[in-house]
Amino acid sequence: MNHREDESPAADEPRRERRPSAVYGVGVEPDARFSLANERTALAWVRTGLGLVAGGVALTSFSTFAEMPVLLEVVAAVACLAGGILAVYALRSWRTHEIALRTGSPLPAPAALPVLVAGVVAMALLLTGYAIASIVG
Amino acid sequence: MGPNTPAMQPPGAQPERTALSWQRTVLGTIVGALLLSMAAIRSGAPVLAIAAAALSLYVAARLMVSSPARSLRLGTRTQVWPGLARMAWSVACLGALGTATAMVNVWTSWP
């Protein structure tokens, strides 16, 4: 097991402080596997945000060919905004999870997940309705 | 010496998986920024197009050339947060540029 007090690092440790101190100043070094898993989770959240942004970019690219371009542009703007927010949320989530790993606390629930799902469902319904209206109207 | 030096690699190929995760994220961001740049050109917003292209160059320079992926594979990485923050804020920046492009389109198509 890899328990090392942060107050007295080994003699061959580089003397550079790890940022952020709010994370690394607390608790002890967790198993490297858990830290790396946390990092991959954060990157997965960032990629989810990136996916939303990419969807928004695609919508705004093709809205000129569409019937109600303003609606599509609004959806695109919201998607890009949500994607950006999700990417920043990834950072906050990484911090709280790393602190929980270091202090041995239970991991917090992914608060953004229900919101994300609701948002994606809402967007899908909106665009489905738009598509049907375009076919019918 | 950190927890990821070659002598102390955790089992399960985790540094490799994390490196691959980084590569996916960085490449996706660069491609997304370039696509947005093209969309902005089509929308007649050259400032946004240049900003998006600059963002793709920044991500390529800061996160692909000196990449967390490579330092993970070599076991030379000492810090997680700077790269992660850079990555997340780059995507947030891309989102902001995307929103701006959509708003430009709404503005120009308003009768």
Sorted by where each begins, the domain ranges of chain B are 26-109
Query: ipTM, 2 decimals?
Result: 0.89
Confidence of residue A11 (pLDDT cuts 50, 70, 90): very low
A3 torsion bin: left (phi>0), alpha (psi -120 to 50), beta (else): beta
- Of the pLDDT bands very low, low, confident and very high (cuts 50, 70, 90), residue B3 is low
H or E element at residue B60: none
Q: Confidence band (pLDDT; 50, 70, 90) for A6?
A: very low
Q: Which residue has the higher pLDDT, A38 or B2?
A: A38
**Chain B: closest CA distance from residue A100 (Å):** 16
Q: How far is A91 from chain B (nearest CA, A)?
A: 7
Task: Provide mean pLDDT across the span B9-25.
Answer: 87
Question: H helices of A63-136, where?
Answer: 69-103, 112-136
* Chain B residues closer than 8 Å to A56 by CB: 95, 98-99, 102
Of residues A60, A109, A63, A100, the one with CA closest to residue A83: A60
Q: How far apart are CA A127 and CA A76, in angstroms?
A: 11
Q: What is the pTM of this model?
A: 0.87
Contacts B4 to A, Cβ<8 Å: 32
CB of B13 less than 8 A from some CB of A = no
Q: Is the pLDDT of residue A23 over 80?
A: yes
Q: Do B98 and A37 touch (CB under 8 A)?
A: no
The b/e string for B65-80 (b: 16+ C-beta within 10 A; e otherwise) is: eebbbebbbebebebb
Higher pLDDT, B10 or B28: B28
CA distances from B1 to A1, A94, A100, B74 (A): 16, 23, 24, 12
Q: Which two tokens stand for residue B52?
A: 């998006």
pLDDT range class, residue A64, cuts 50, 70, 90: confident
Query: B84 or A127: whose pLDDT is higher?
Result: B84
What is the mean pLDDT of the segment spanning B20-45? 96
Most confident of A16-30, A83-97, A123-137: A83-97
Query: Which chain B residue's Cα is nearest to A13?
Result: B1
C-alpha span between A132 and A115 (Å, rounded): 26
Whether the predicted pLDDT of A108 surpasses 70 = yes
User: In A10-68, where does DSSP find H-type helix?
Assistant: 21-24, 32-62
* For residue B74, pLDDT beyond 80: yes
pLDDT (0 to 100) of residue B99: 97
